[in-house]
Amino acid sequence: MFGIWSIVPPLVAIGLAIYTKRVLISLFISIWVGGLIYAGGNPFAAVALTFTWMKDVMTDPWNARFIALTALLGAGAAFMFKIGGSYALTKALEKKLTNRRRAQMLGWVLGIVVFFNDYVNSVIAGNASKDINAKYNVSREKLAYILDATAAPMATIGPVSDWIGFQVSLIAAAFASISLVGAKPYFAFLKSIPWNFYSILSLIAVPMIIWGKDFGPMAKAELRAMRTGKLIADDATPLSSVENDLGEPVRPDSANIWYFVTPLVTLVGVGIWALWYTGGGPAGKPVMDALADTDVSIALTWAAFAMTFVGIIFAFKQKMSFSEIEETMLAGFRTMLPALVIIVLAWSIGTVTDVLGTADFVVGLTEGWMTAGILPFLIFVICMFMSFATGTSWGTMAIMTPIGIPLAYEIGGLPLVHIIIGAVFAGAIFGDHCSPISDTTVMASIFAGSDHIAHVKTQIPYALIPAGIAGVLYLFSSQIQTGIVLLLIGIVAQYFIFKWVGNYYQKKNFTAEEIEALNNKEIFDMEQVGF
C-alpha cells in the first residue's frame, strides 16, 4: 500500500532506540512517523493518529487483560521478595551453587523446565536466579541474555504450551485453506521441531557461552561486574528494580524456601489448568485442541492473581500489616510500569506496520523468484526481519504461516511443508528474542534487573551466530533432507564458532590478566580474580 515507506517506522524505532538508548521516546517518535506517512505528511493529523492508535491497543480486550496480567505478575514477584522467599532460596542454594557457572546454569535450567509460557518463564527464572547470580558478580546483562535466550525458544517447541496451541491452530487453518486431508496439524508441528534451527541452537548456545568465553559487549559487561562489583553500568537505567522499589524483605530470618516455591507452583499449576479450562478442556476437547482454542490472557491472568493471593497469605503469616501489604502490591505494580508503557507503544507500532502494509511489502519483494532450494532460507530471513521490526513473533507467525505452507506444498509437497513450518517459527523467534520492542525482551530486562538497551546490545552478537548457522542450514535443506542431521552439524559448528570468536575477541581486546580473570568461572568473590 505504502511501498518502501512502510518499513520506515519500525526502522526508526529500532535505530533511535539503539542510538539514544531511550526506548520510550524512540517508540513514540516512530509511531508519529507512521502517522505522518499515513496522513500524507500532515504533522497535526499524525499526532491525532498516534494517540488514536495508542487508545485502540489499550482498549482491545486481549491487550487490556494482558496489562492486568503484567501488573499482577509484578505484584506477585514483589510479595515473593518482600516476604523473604527470594532471600530464603538464595540461602538454600548457596551450598549447591558454589561458582559463577552453576549460578548462571540455574537460570537456564529453570528456563527449560518452565516451558509452557515465555512470560511466566522470565518471572520464575529471573526471580529464582537473580540474587544468587548477584552474589557471584554476574552482570545483569548476562542474566537477561540467559532468561531471554530460553523463554521464547523453549515455549515454541514445548512439549505443551500456549504457543504450541496457537501454532497448531495456524497450521490447521493453512491445511484447510489448501484442502490438505490426511495430515494432522499437531503431528506436522512435531515433525517441524528439528527444522526449528534457531530456537534449538539458541537454547544450546546458553550453556556453550556459560562454559566458554564471552565476547563483544557482553565480555566488557562481565569484566566490569567482576572487577568493580557493578552489576550494571554507571549510566545504565534498569527498567525496574525490585530491591529499590520494595526495600528490604520483612523478617528474612523467619522466611523459608516455601515462601518462594509455593507462589511459583501456584502460578504454574493454575496457569496450566486455566489454559486447558478456558480452551474447552472440561467439554472433552483433546489437550492440544484445548490449547489451540484457549484464551491466554484470561488463563494467565487467573494464574497471576492466584500467585499474588498466595503471596498475600504468606505476608499475613510474616505479620505484615494491611498498609504494608497494600504498599507492596502497589510497589509491584510500579516495577512493571516501564514495561507496560513500552508494551503499549510496541503494540502501537505493530498497528502502524499493519495499516501501512509492512508485511505485504516484505513478502511481495520475494514473489516470482522463489524455488524449493531457497524457499526455507527466504522464509526464515523474512520472518527474522518482520519479527525484529515489529517485535511480535505471534504476529509474524500469523502472517507468514498461511503464506508459507501453501507455497511450500505447491513447490515441494508435505516434506517441504514441515521444513517451512520450522523456518517460520525459527525466524519469528529471532525477533522475539532480539528486538528492543519485543515484550519478551522487555520482560527479560525487568526480571534480570538490566538496562534494556544494554541487554539488547549485549545479546545480539550471541543471537546472530545461531541465526547465521540456521540460515546456512536452511540453504542445505534441499540436499540434506533430514533435519536432525543438519541440526547436529549446526550444533558442532556453533560450538567451534563460539570458541574461536571468544578466543579471538578476548586476545584482541583484553590484557592477559583480564582474560584470566574473565574466564575464571570458579571464582567465589572478587579477591580471587586479583581486583
Q: Is the pLDDT of residue 530 over 60?
A: no
Given this model, what pLDDT does residue 178 score?
Answer: 78
Q: How far is CA 92 from the centre of its chain?
A: 28
> What residues does 238 pair with on adjacent strands?
451
Q: How far apart are CA 432 and CA 154, in angstroms?
A: 12
Q: How far apart are CA 296 and CA 70, in angstroms?
A: 13
Higher confidence at residue 332 or residue 117? 332
Q: How far apart are CA 439 and CA 67, in angstroms?
A: 12
Residue closest to 442 by CA, chosen among 11, 15, 24, 111 = 24
- pLDDT-derived band at 527 (thresholds 50, 70, 90) equals very low
CA 407, 408, 409, 413 torsion-angle sign: positive
Q: What is the rounded average pLDDT for all residues in the chain?
A: 84
Residue closest to 427 by CA, chosen among 445, 401, 409 = 401
Domain locations along the chain: 3-25+57-529
Q: How far apart are CA 59 and CA 50, in angstroms?
A: 15
Q: Is the pLDDT of residue 212 over 80?
A: yes
- pLDDT-derived band at 159 (thresholds 50, 70, 90) equals low
Model confidence pLDDT, tens digit, residues 176-201:
877 887 777 878 888 999 999 999 99
Model confidence pLDDT, tens digit, residues 234-248:
888 887 665 566 677
Q: Are 417 and 405 in contact (CB under 8 A)?
A: yes
Residue type, 153: P
Please report where in the chains the cell 523453549 appears, as a residue: 154
Given this model, what pLDDT does residue 459 score?
Answer: 94
Helices (H) and strands (E) in the chain, counts: 24, 0
Model confidence pLDDT, tens digit, residues 8-41:
887 887 778 667 767 678 888 989 999 999 999 9
Worst-scoring range by mean pLDDT, 123-127, 316-320, 357-361, 383-387?
357-361
Given this model, what pLDDT does residue 528 score?
Answer: 47
Which ranges constitute the DSSP H helices of 60-117? 61-82, 85-93, 100-113
Q: What is the pTM of this model?
A: 0.76
Mean pLDDT computed over 85-100: 81
Residue type, 62: W
Given this model, what pLDDT does residue 526 score?
Answer: 43
Mean pLDDT computed over 74-91: 82
**Which are the contacts of 24, defined by CB distance < 8 A and separation ≥ 6?**
338, 341, 342, 345
Among 125-139, 245-259, 496-510, top mean pLDDT goes to 496-510
Helix (H) or strand (E) run with residue 347 in it: helix 322-356
Worst-scoring range by mean pLDDT, 303-312, 390-399, 488-497?
390-399
CA 519, 524, 525, 529 torsion-angle sign: negative
Mean pLDDT computed over 391-419: 82
| Angle in degrees, 0-180, between the axes of helices 8-20 and 375-390, rounded to the nearest 10 | 60
Q: Are 294 and 273 in contact (CB under 8 A)?
A: no
Given this model, what pLDDT does residue 171 score?
Answer: 83
Higher confidence at residue 223 or residue 60? 223
Q: How far apart are CA 483 and CA 485, in angstroms?
A: 5
CB count within 10 Å of CB 325 equals: 18
Given this model, what pLDDT does residue 531 score?
Answer: 40
Mean pLDDT computed over 493-508: 95
Q: Are 305 and 70 in contact (CB under 8 A)?
A: no
Q: Is the pLDDT of residue 523 over 60?
A: no
* Buried b or exposed e, range 21-35, using 16+ CB within 10 angstroms: bebeebbbbbbbbbb
Residue closest to 180 by CA, chosen among 410, 400, 401 = 410
- pLDDT-derived band at 43 (thresholds 50, 70, 90) equals very high
**Which are the contacts of 369, defined by CB distance < 8 A and separation ≥ 6?**
none
